[in-house]
Structure 1
Amino acid sequence: MKSKKTLLVAGIIVAVIILFLVTSYNGLVSKEESVKKYWAEVQSTYQRRLDLIPNLVAVVKGVSEFESSTLEQIAEARGKALAGQQNANLDGNNYSQQSAAQDTLAAAANRMIVIIE
């Protein structure tokens, strides 16, 4: 009788250990799948970032070209404004030319301010 009781207790202990091992294994498999899922999301985010780089390069090139043309416009407008100021002969026509040159310079400077902001 005592040996049956000992055998029963040993069987229950073995069953509990097996149940614990199976539950632990299933938990580990579940966590591994969760890690794989989150890693796939990280890789997806990296891929999206890589896909956006050509667009970013195009935007930077476009802005660079825009800034370059704006700088050229400012230099040209400044030259015209300086030429108008150096002209001591200020009549109606020269006044309107100088005013137009100053307006062009102000517009180009405003575009540059917008770029800087």
Structure 2
Amino acid sequence: MKKSYVILIIVAVVTMLLVIWVKGTYNGMVSAEEETTTQLAYIQSAYQRRADLIPNLVEVVKGYAAHEKETLEGVVSARSKATSITLDADNIKAYQQAQGELSSALSRLLAVHEAYPDLKANENFRDLQVQLEGTENRINEARNKYNESVQAYNINIRRFPNNILAGMFGFEKMDKFEAAAGAEKAPEVKF
């Protein structure tokens, strides 16, 4: 009888340790996944801030650069396209491409500022340009934090023995934000 009690106690202890390990590992993966989706939401928020600023920027520039109608229309069109795509973990590449097109259009618009002295003198334009630059910095920071979070999450679910539980509970590897094709080259501004 004593031997069966010892075996029963050992089985109970091993079972309890296994349950504690599964619970801790699962909860860790859930926390990592939630952190990553929160970082993705921060990116979306930064892009939304940019999209909200653009109409104001365009209206100010319209008053001073009516002759740059094509540039302004390009910004409006790119903004429309960029805001029509919803950001989620499944369509990062399409969202990123639309945002890249918007960034390119904004670069052309900001080049107008350099070409026309009247725009340089306009405080509203300068203020909006500073806001837009700050927004672009926020977007970059949010992307970097998201990529760090994705890396931590992916490492967590791919390490042994976590990968076994990740597969059982449906945790899948997430994609990082990547630079758009051609991003290594400075944008070419033409007038």
TM-score with structure 1 length normalisation?
Answer: 0.53
Contact 2:53–2:128 (CA under 8 A) maintained in structure 1:
yes
Alignment correspondent of 2:21: 52
Distance 2:145 2:45 in 1: 14
Residue 47 (structure 2) aligned to one of 78, 88, 93: 78
C-alpha deviation, 1:97, in angstroms: 0.9
What do residues 36-85 of structure 1 show as CA deviations (whole Å, max 9, x unaligned)?
Answer: xxxx6x98666533321111122122222212221211111011123334
Residue 128 (structure 2) aligned to one of 82, 94, 102: 94
1:98-117 superposed matches below 5 A: 98-117=132-151
**Number of aligned residues:** 80
RMSD, matched Cα: 2.8
Contact 2:35–2:149 (CA under 8 A) maintained in structure 1:
no
Distance 2:39 2:21 in 1: 27
- Which is richer in helix? 1
Distance 2:54 2:137 in 1: 14
Distance 2:31 2:15 in 1: 25
Unaligned runs of 5+ in 2: 1-9, 62-124, 152-191
Larger RCO (alpha carbons 8 Å, 6+ apart): 2
TM-score with structure 2 length normalisation?
Answer: 0.35
1:16-55 superposed matches below 5 A: 47-55=16-24
Distance 2:45 2:135 in 1: 9
Contact 2:36–2:150 (CA under 8 A) maintained in structure 1:
no
Distance 1:114 1:67 in 2: 9
Alignment correspondent of 2:84: none
